[in-house]
A = this chain, B = another copy of it.
């Protein structure tokens, strides 16, 4: 049994990139913790948004979810963000960390990615997921076959009622979610996959 920590900047950041993988961890009996750095108040009512991501956490079988208390659109890659992440690291002691790739046009995602790499420099596996504003030079090396949990992934993304219908970036991403999963599956040589860049990977033989 492994312990997993997935870090996102906003309530709906994890779903596109690694929800299928997180659901696989849960299904296998791993402990899955989520850390969401902000309540996403820049794109909706923070209470609604927090509730939505707690619903998603339940669908994915997460053990617990932490909300980091940083401010939406104002995450920096300095001390403050690193402290929030390190506090959870101490509590959870994860074997595997999932974090957003820093190759992203959204400053919160870039800075979250940097802050996780700083905070988790002692972790053994850090995998960087893609999101709705990831840049085109995201170049994944590691793939997870999510055929068994793709329905859970879809269901998790659909709880974001506040985002799905607003015509914004999230809505567009959701429209593409199946295409993305099939394309990443194709690159991996399976039907349907999630794809990750490697922050660090100690491979256990």
Contact = CB atoms under 8 A, between A and B. Distances in A.
A134 B30 CA distance: 32
Interface in A1-43: 21, 24-25, 28, 30, 42
Nearest to A148: B205
Contact of A77 (B107, B139, B173, B201): B107
Given A24-B205, A105-B121, A179 B183 contact: yes
Interface residues of A, number: 59
A37 to B, nearest CB: 15
A121 B188 CA distance: 9
Contact of A202 (B117, B133, B144, B179): B144
A188 B172 contact: no
Most chain B Cβ neighbours within 10 Å, of A106, A175, A191, A198: A198
Taken together, the copies of this chain in the complex come to: 6
A25 B181 CA distance: 30
B136 A140 contact: yes
A89 interface: no
A202 B145 contact: yes
A47 interface: no
A73 interface: yes
Interface in A121-155: 121-122, 124, 127, 133, 136-137, 139-145
Contacts of A118: 105-107, 133
Given A127-B203, A142-B201, A193-B202, 13 more contacts: A74-B78, A105-B114, A105-B117, A105-B121, A107-B114, A136-B139, A141-B201, A143-B201, A172-B189, A173-B186, A179-B180, A188-B200, A190-B202
Q: Which 8 A-B pairs have the closest CB atoms?
A: A179-B182, A176-B186, A141-B198, A183-B183, A24-B205, A73-B79, A179-B183, A105-B117
